[in-house]
Amino acid sequence: MRTQIGIIGAGPAGLLLSQLLHLHGIENVVLEARSRQYVEGRIRAGVLEYDAVRTLEEAGVGARMNAEGLKHFGVNLRFRERTHRIDFADLTGKFVMVYSQHDVVRDLIAARLAAGGTILFEASDVRPCDFESEHPSIRFRHNGQEQTLECDFIAGCDGFHGVCRESIPKAELAIYERTYPFGWLGILADVPPSSEELIYANHERGFALLSMRGRERSRLYLQCAPDEDPEAWSDERIWEELSWRFAVRGEDWHLKRGPITQKSVTPMRSFVAEPMQYGRLFLLGDAAHIVPPTGAKGLNLALADVRVFARALDSYYHKHDSTRLGEYSNTCLRRIWKVERFSWWMTSLLHRFETHSAFERRIQLAELDYVVSSRAASTTLAENYVGLPLE
Protein backbone atom coordinates (compact mmCIF):
# COMPACT_ATOMS: atom_id res chain seq x y z
CA MET A 1 0.00 0.00 0.00
CA ARG A 2 1.36 3.42 -0.95
CA THR A 3 0.32 7.01 -0.18
CA GLN A 4 1.93 10.41 0.30
CA ILE A 5 1.03 11.03 3.97
CA GLY A 6 0.42 8.28 6.50
CA ILE A 7 -1.71 9.56 9.38
CA ILE A 8 -1.81 7.64 12.67
CA GLY A 9 -4.92 8.49 14.67
CA ALA A 10 -8.49 9.37 13.69
CA GLY A 11 -9.13 11.98 16.32
CA PRO A 12 -9.93 15.56 15.30
CA ALA A 13 -6.28 16.29 14.42
CA GLY A 14 -5.78 13.29 12.15
CA LEU A 15 -9.16 13.68 10.47
CA LEU A 16 -8.84 17.43 9.87
CA LEU A 17 -5.36 16.91 8.46
CA SER A 18 -6.72 14.23 6.12
CA GLN A 19 -9.50 16.55 4.96
CA LEU A 20 -7.23 19.57 4.39
CA LEU A 21 -4.69 17.45 2.51
CA HIS A 22 -7.49 16.07 0.33
CA LEU A 23 -8.53 19.63 -0.53
CA HIS A 24 -4.89 20.35 -1.45
CA GLY A 25 -4.76 17.27 -3.67
CA ILE A 26 -2.37 15.38 -1.39
CA GLU A 27 -3.01 11.65 -0.96
CA ASN A 28 -3.30 10.27 2.55
CA VAL A 29 -4.44 7.25 4.56
CA VAL A 30 -5.65 7.36 8.19
CA LEU A 31 -5.01 4.45 10.58
CA GLU A 32 -7.05 4.25 13.79
CA ALA A 33 -6.78 1.64 16.55
CA ARG A 34 -10.38 2.02 17.74
CA SER A 35 -13.70 1.34 16.03
CA ARG A 36 -15.64 4.06 14.23
CA GLN A 37 -18.39 3.79 16.84
CA TYR A 38 -15.91 4.37 19.67
CA VAL A 39 -14.21 7.32 17.95
CA GLU A 40 -17.50 9.04 17.15
CA GLY A 41 -18.84 8.50 20.67
CA ARG A 42 -15.98 10.01 22.72
CA ILE A 43 -17.36 13.16 24.35
CA ARG A 44 -14.51 15.57 25.01
CA ALA A 45 -13.87 19.30 24.68
CA GLY A 46 -16.57 21.59 23.42
CA VAL A 47 -15.23 25.13 22.95
CA LEU A 48 -13.78 26.14 19.57
CA GLU A 49 -11.69 29.28 19.12
CA TYR A 50 -12.63 31.83 16.48
CA ASP A 51 -9.95 30.69 14.02
CA ALA A 52 -10.70 27.01 14.70
CA VAL A 53 -14.27 27.71 13.53
CA ARG A 54 -12.90 29.38 10.40
CA THR A 55 -10.56 26.43 9.75
CA LEU A 56 -13.43 23.92 9.93
CA GLU A 57 -15.47 26.09 7.58
CA GLU A 58 -12.57 26.23 5.12
CA ALA A 59 -12.31 22.44 5.37
CA GLY A 60 -15.93 22.17 4.23
CA VAL A 61 -17.27 20.75 7.50
CA GLY A 62 -18.85 23.83 9.04
CA ALA A 63 -22.51 23.45 8.04
CA ARG A 64 -23.78 21.42 11.02
CA MET A 65 -21.50 23.30 13.40
CA ASN A 66 -22.98 26.64 12.32
CA ALA A 67 -26.53 25.26 12.47
CA GLU A 68 -26.32 23.50 15.85
CA GLY A 69 -23.34 25.08 17.64
CA LEU A 70 -23.71 27.88 20.15
CA LYS A 71 -21.86 31.14 19.51
CA HIS A 72 -20.64 32.71 22.73
CA PHE A 73 -19.63 36.36 22.74
CA GLY A 74 -18.40 36.35 26.33
CA VAL A 75 -17.60 34.29 29.41
CA ASN A 76 -18.39 34.76 33.12
CA LEU A 77 -16.06 34.75 36.13
CA ARG A 78 -17.79 34.22 39.46
CA PHE A 79 -16.03 34.90 42.77
CA ARG A 80 -17.07 36.30 46.13
CA GLU A 81 -20.57 35.28 45.00
CA ARG A 82 -20.62 37.92 42.27
CA THR A 83 -20.65 37.40 38.49
CA HIS A 84 -18.41 39.39 36.17
CA ARG A 85 -18.75 39.04 32.39
CA ILE A 86 -15.79 39.27 29.99
CA ASP A 87 -17.23 40.67 26.75
CA PHE A 88 -15.39 39.06 23.82
CA ALA A 89 -17.32 40.99 21.19
CA ASP A 90 -16.49 44.37 22.72
CA LEU A 91 -12.88 43.55 23.59
CA THR A 92 -11.82 41.56 20.49
CA GLY A 93 -14.68 41.60 17.97
CA LYS A 94 -14.63 37.79 18.02
CA PHE A 95 -16.52 34.84 19.53
CA VAL A 96 -16.05 31.18 20.46
CA MET A 97 -18.28 28.30 19.39
CA VAL A 98 -19.58 25.63 21.77
CA TYR A 99 -19.67 22.47 19.65
CA SER A 100 -18.63 19.10 21.03
CA GLN A 101 -15.47 17.39 19.84
CA HIS A 102 -17.34 14.19 18.99
CA ASP A 103 -19.55 16.21 16.62
CA VAL A 104 -16.43 17.64 14.95
CA VAL A 105 -15.17 14.06 14.54
CA ARG A 106 -18.48 12.86 13.10
CA ASP A 107 -18.54 15.70 10.58
CA LEU A 108 -14.96 15.02 9.48
CA ILE A 109 -15.48 11.26 9.14
CA ALA A 110 -18.60 11.83 7.05
CA ALA A 111 -16.74 14.27 4.80
CA ARG A 112 -13.74 11.97 4.32
CA LEU A 113 -15.84 8.92 3.51
CA ALA A 114 -18.10 10.90 1.17
CA ALA A 115 -14.99 11.97 -0.74
CA GLY A 116 -13.69 8.41 -0.95
CA GLY A 117 -11.01 8.90 1.68
CA THR A 118 -9.35 5.89 3.32
CA ILE A 119 -9.79 5.50 7.08
CA LEU A 120 -8.82 2.09 8.41
CA PHE A 121 -10.53 1.62 11.78
CA GLU A 122 -9.44 -1.11 14.21
CA ALA A 123 -5.89 -1.15 12.87
CA SER A 124 -3.76 -2.85 15.51
CA ASP A 125 -0.01 -3.15 16.22
CA VAL A 126 0.62 0.15 14.41
CA ARG A 127 4.34 0.94 14.18
CA PRO A 128 5.96 3.92 12.44
CA CYS A 129 9.13 2.66 10.76
CA ASP A 130 12.19 4.02 8.91
CA PHE A 131 11.21 7.64 9.53
CA GLU A 132 14.87 8.60 9.85
CA SER A 133 15.24 7.69 6.17
CA GLU A 134 13.69 9.16 3.03
CA HIS A 135 11.37 6.15 2.77
CA PRO A 136 9.27 5.90 5.94
CA SER A 137 6.51 3.34 6.36
CA ILE A 138 3.85 2.26 8.82
CA ARG A 139 3.38 -1.39 9.68
CA PHE A 140 0.08 -2.54 11.10
CA ARG A 141 -2.43 -5.36 11.28
CA HIS A 142 -5.90 -4.97 9.73
CA ASN A 143 -8.59 -7.60 9.19
CA GLY A 144 -6.18 -10.20 10.50
CA GLN A 145 -3.43 -9.42 8.00
CA GLU A 146 -0.01 -7.78 8.44
CA GLN A 147 0.24 -4.77 6.13
CA THR A 148 2.72 -2.01 5.30
CA LEU A 149 1.82 1.54 4.31
CA GLU A 150 4.66 3.23 2.43
CA CYS A 151 4.59 7.03 2.52
CA ASP A 152 6.63 10.22 2.23
CA PHE A 153 5.88 11.50 5.74
CA ILE A 154 4.17 10.19 8.89
CA ALA A 155 1.78 12.36 10.90
CA GLY A 156 1.57 11.25 14.54
CA CYS A 157 -1.94 12.27 15.64
CA ASP A 158 -2.40 9.37 18.06
CA GLY A 159 -2.68 11.24 21.35
CA PHE A 160 -0.71 11.38 24.57
CA HIS A 161 -0.61 7.59 25.05
CA GLY A 162 0.03 6.79 21.38
CA VAL A 163 2.96 5.03 19.77
CA CYS A 164 4.41 7.91 17.71
CA ARG A 165 6.12 10.00 20.39
CA GLU A 166 7.35 6.79 22.07
CA SER A 167 8.98 5.75 18.77
CA ILE A 168 11.35 8.73 18.83
CA PRO A 169 14.63 8.04 20.69
CA LYS A 170 14.28 9.43 24.20
CA ALA A 171 17.62 11.23 23.91
CA GLU A 172 16.18 13.27 21.02
CA LEU A 173 13.25 14.71 23.02
CA ALA A 174 13.14 17.30 25.77
CA ILE A 175 10.10 16.82 28.03
CA TYR A 176 8.57 19.66 30.06
CA GLU A 177 5.69 18.84 32.37
CA ARG A 178 3.79 19.76 35.47
CA THR A 179 1.17 17.68 37.29
CA TYR A 180 -1.40 19.60 39.32
CA PRO A 181 -2.49 18.44 42.79
CA PHE A 182 -6.17 18.18 41.81
CA GLY A 183 -8.47 16.91 39.09
CA TRP A 184 -11.94 17.66 37.72
CA LEU A 185 -15.00 15.58 38.47
CA GLY A 186 -16.99 16.08 35.27
CA ILE A 187 -20.63 15.23 34.65
CA LEU A 188 -23.04 15.23 31.74
CA ALA A 189 -26.64 15.99 32.68
CA ASP A 190 -29.80 15.90 30.61
CA VAL A 191 -30.91 19.38 31.58
CA PRO A 192 -30.78 22.73 29.73
CA PRO A 193 -27.76 24.84 30.78
CA SER A 194 -28.33 27.21 33.68
CA SER A 195 -26.51 29.99 31.83
CA GLU A 196 -26.28 31.09 28.21
CA GLU A 197 -22.49 31.36 28.56
CA LEU A 198 -19.84 29.49 30.54
CA ILE A 199 -19.33 30.31 34.21
CA TYR A 200 -15.92 29.83 35.84
CA ALA A 201 -16.35 29.87 39.63
CA ASN A 202 -13.61 30.46 42.20
CA HIS A 203 -14.93 29.40 45.62
CA GLU A 204 -13.48 28.59 49.04
CA ARG A 205 -14.64 24.99 48.57
CA GLY A 206 -12.87 24.74 45.19
CA PHE A 207 -13.26 25.54 41.51
CA ALA A 208 -16.38 24.79 39.45
CA LEU A 209 -17.23 25.22 35.77
CA LEU A 210 -20.64 25.42 34.15
CA SER A 211 -20.52 24.51 30.47
CA MET A 212 -22.85 22.86 27.97
CA ARG A 213 -23.09 20.39 25.10
CA GLY A 214 -25.96 21.99 23.23
CA ARG A 215 -29.23 23.58 24.27
CA GLU A 216 -30.55 20.58 26.19
CA ARG A 217 -27.46 19.05 27.81
CA SER A 218 -25.22 20.50 30.52
CA ARG A 219 -21.55 19.77 31.17
CA LEU A 220 -20.35 20.69 34.67
CA TYR A 221 -17.11 20.23 36.58
CA LEU A 222 -15.96 20.24 40.20
CA GLN A 223 -12.40 20.50 41.46
CA CYS A 224 -11.58 17.28 43.31
CA ALA A 225 -8.67 15.08 44.37
CA PRO A 226 -6.75 13.66 41.37
CA ASP A 227 -7.50 10.11 42.51
CA GLU A 228 -11.16 10.78 43.33
CA ASP A 229 -13.57 7.88 42.77
CA PRO A 230 -16.49 9.31 40.77
CA GLU A 231 -18.76 6.54 42.02
CA ALA A 232 -18.27 7.86 45.56
CA TRP A 233 -20.26 10.92 44.48
CA SER A 234 -24.02 10.40 44.45
CA ASP A 235 -26.08 12.58 42.13
CA GLU A 236 -27.48 14.44 45.12
CA ARG A 237 -24.01 15.11 46.53
CA ILE A 238 -22.82 16.46 43.16
CA TRP A 239 -25.75 18.85 42.76
CA GLU A 240 -25.40 20.08 46.34
CA GLU A 241 -21.68 20.76 45.90
CA LEU A 242 -22.28 22.55 42.61
CA SER A 243 -24.93 24.70 44.29
CA TRP A 244 -22.43 25.70 46.96
CA ARG A 245 -19.70 26.63 44.52
CA PHE A 246 -21.97 28.51 42.09
CA ALA A 247 -23.68 30.46 44.88
CA VAL A 248 -24.38 34.05 43.85
CA ARG A 249 -25.86 37.11 45.54
CA GLY A 250 -28.05 39.78 44.00
CA GLU A 251 -28.99 37.82 40.87
CA ASP A 252 -32.12 35.95 39.83
CA TRP A 253 -30.18 32.80 39.04
CA HIS A 254 -30.47 29.18 40.07
CA LEU A 255 -28.75 25.94 39.12
CA LYS A 256 -30.96 23.64 37.06
CA ARG A 257 -30.80 19.99 38.06
CA GLY A 258 -31.48 16.91 35.98
CA PRO A 259 -30.50 13.27 35.37
CA ILE A 260 -26.74 12.74 35.39
CA THR A 261 -25.76 10.41 32.53
CA GLN A 262 -21.97 10.37 32.87
CA LYS A 263 -19.34 10.89 35.59
CA SER A 264 -15.58 10.88 35.19
CA VAL A 265 -12.43 12.38 36.71
CA THR A 266 -9.97 14.28 34.51
CA PRO A 267 -6.37 14.67 35.75
CA MET A 268 -4.71 18.06 35.34
CA ARG A 269 -1.39 18.17 33.54
CA SER A 270 0.79 20.52 31.51
CA PHE A 271 3.11 18.71 29.08
CA VAL A 272 5.27 19.63 26.07
CA ALA A 273 7.65 17.45 24.06
CA GLU A 274 10.28 19.20 21.93
CA PRO A 275 10.94 19.06 19.04
CA MET A 276 7.68 18.03 17.36
CA GLN A 277 9.45 16.43 14.40
CA TYR A 278 12.12 13.81 14.03
CA GLY A 279 13.20 12.77 10.58
CA ARG A 280 10.00 12.31 8.60
CA LEU A 281 7.81 11.74 11.66
CA PHE A 282 5.80 14.77 12.81
CA LEU A 283 3.83 15.03 16.07
CA LEU A 284 0.51 16.86 16.21
CA GLY A 285 -1.94 17.56 19.03
CA ASP A 286 -1.86 15.57 22.25
CA ALA A 287 1.02 13.45 20.96
CA ALA A 288 3.20 16.52 21.54
CA HIS A 289 1.46 18.61 24.19
CA ILE A 290 -1.20 18.59 26.91
CA VAL A 291 -2.79 21.56 28.67
CA PRO A 292 -5.05 21.60 31.73
CA PRO A 293 -8.63 22.03 30.46
CA THR A 294 -9.24 25.30 32.31
CA GLY A 295 -8.61 27.46 29.25
CA ALA A 296 -10.41 25.14 26.77
CA LYS A 297 -7.29 24.89 24.61
CA GLY A 298 -6.48 21.21 24.01
CA LEU A 299 -8.59 20.66 20.89
CA ASN A 300 -7.78 24.13 19.57
CA LEU A 301 -4.03 23.58 19.87
CA ALA A 302 -4.35 20.34 17.91
CA LEU A 303 -6.27 22.04 15.11
CA ALA A 304 -3.66 24.82 14.98
CA ASP A 305 -0.87 22.23 14.58
CA VAL A 306 -2.81 20.68 11.72
CA ARG A 307 -3.18 23.97 9.92
CA VAL A 308 0.57 24.68 10.13
CA PHE A 309 1.46 21.16 8.96
CA ALA A 310 -1.05 21.15 6.09
CA ARG A 311 0.32 24.45 4.79
CA ALA A 312 3.87 23.11 5.05
CA LEU A 313 2.96 20.03 3.03
CA ASP A 314 1.16 22.15 0.45
CA SER A 315 4.37 24.19 -0.02
CA TYR A 316 6.44 21.02 -0.24
CA TYR A 317 4.33 19.29 -2.88
CA HIS A 318 3.11 22.23 -4.94
CA LYS A 319 5.96 24.74 -4.64
CA HIS A 320 8.81 22.26 -4.08
CA ASP A 321 9.73 24.27 -0.98
CA SER A 322 10.60 22.36 2.21
CA THR A 323 11.23 25.49 4.32
CA ARG A 324 7.92 25.32 6.19
CA LEU A 325 8.35 21.62 6.92
CA GLY A 326 11.74 22.33 8.45
CA GLU A 327 10.24 25.10 10.57
CA TYR A 328 7.11 23.16 11.60
CA SER A 329 8.18 22.44 15.17
CA ASN A 330 9.45 25.96 15.93
CA THR A 331 6.37 27.55 14.34
CA CYS A 332 4.00 25.45 16.44
CA LEU A 333 5.97 25.73 19.67
CA ARG A 334 5.93 29.53 19.67
CA ARG A 335 2.15 29.39 19.89
CA ILE A 336 2.00 26.32 22.12
CA TRP A 337 4.05 27.89 24.90
CA LYS A 338 1.85 30.99 24.91
CA VAL A 339 -1.19 28.75 25.21
CA GLU A 340 0.49 26.67 27.92
CA ARG A 341 1.10 29.90 29.80
CA PHE A 342 -2.54 30.97 29.49
CA SER A 343 -3.86 27.57 30.58
CA TRP A 344 -1.47 27.53 33.56
CA TRP A 345 -2.52 31.08 34.48
CA MET A 346 -6.25 30.30 34.31
CA THR A 347 -5.69 27.17 36.39
CA SER A 348 -3.66 29.07 39.00
CA LEU A 349 -6.19 31.89 39.10
CA LEU A 350 -9.32 29.82 39.62
CA HIS A 351 -8.46 26.75 41.71
CA ARG A 352 -8.06 26.30 45.44
CA PHE A 353 -4.56 25.16 46.38
CA GLU A 354 -4.14 23.34 49.69
CA THR A 355 -0.66 24.88 50.01
CA HIS A 356 -1.90 28.45 49.72
CA SER A 357 -1.58 30.63 52.77
CA ALA A 358 -4.23 33.20 53.68
CA PHE A 359 -1.99 35.80 52.04
CA GLU A 360 -1.80 33.87 48.76
CA ARG A 361 -5.57 33.38 48.76
CA ARG A 362 -6.06 37.16 49.07
CA ILE A 363 -3.60 37.74 46.23
CA GLN A 364 -5.60 35.32 44.04
CA LEU A 365 -8.83 37.20 44.72
CA ALA A 366 -7.12 40.54 44.14
CA GLU A 367 -5.90 39.34 40.75
CA LEU A 368 -9.41 38.23 39.81
CA ASP A 369 -10.71 41.63 40.85
CA TYR A 370 -8.06 43.31 38.69
CA VAL A 371 -8.90 41.13 35.67
CA VAL A 372 -12.59 42.09 35.75
CA SER A 373 -12.10 45.77 36.65
CA SER A 374 -9.33 46.65 34.18
CA ARG A 375 -10.15 46.82 30.47
CA ALA A 376 -6.54 46.01 29.64
CA ALA A 377 -6.56 42.90 31.84
CA SER A 378 -9.97 41.82 30.53
CA THR A 379 -8.71 42.23 26.98
CA THR A 380 -5.70 40.02 27.73
CA LEU A 381 -8.00 37.24 28.93
CA ALA A 382 -10.40 37.71 26.02
CA GLU A 383 -7.62 37.70 23.37
CA ASN A 384 -6.23 34.44 24.68
CA TYR A 385 -9.63 32.81 25.14
CA VAL A 386 -10.93 33.49 21.62
CA GLY A 387 -7.55 32.37 20.30
CA LEU A 388 -4.15 33.79 19.42
CA PRO A 389 -3.21 34.10 15.73
CA LEU A 390 -2.48 30.71 14.15
CA GLU A 391 0.85 31.83 12.65
Q: Which residues are catalytically annotated? A: 72, 200, 293, 297, 385
Q: 25 near 115, Cβ under 8 Å?
A: no
Report which DSSP code applies to 144. T
What per-residue confidence (pLDDT) applies to 214?
Answer: 87
pLDDT of the chain along its 391 residues, tens only? 999 999 999 999 999 999 999 999 999 999 999 999 999 988 777 899 999 999 999 999 999 999 999 999 999 999 999 999 999 999 999 999 999 999 999 999 999 999 999 999 999 999 999 999 999 999 999 999 999 999 999 999 999 999 999 999 999 999 999 999 999 999 999 999 999 999 999 999 999 999 998 899 999 999 999 999 999 999 999 999 999 999 999 999 999 999 999 999 999 999 999 999 999 999 999 999 999 999 999 999 999 999 999 999 999 999 999 999 999 999 999 999 999 999 999 999 999 999 999 999 999 999 999 999 999 999 999 999 999 987 6
Domains along the chain?
A: 5-70+98-177+269-346 (3.50.50.60), 180-268+352-386 (3.30.9.10)
Helix (H, G, I), strand (E, B) or coil at 158: coil
Q: Is the dihedral of CA 5, 10, 14, 20 positive or negative?
A: positive
pLDDT of amino acid 41: 87
Burial class of residue 227 in the structure, from the number of CB atoms within 10 Å of its CB (0-12 exposed, 13-18 middle, 19+ buried): exposed
What pLDDT score does 389 carry? Answer: 84
CA–CA gap between residue 314 and residue 300 (Å, rounded):
21
Number of H helices, E strands in the chain: 13, 20
Cβ–Cβ under 8 Å, residues 257 and 242:
no
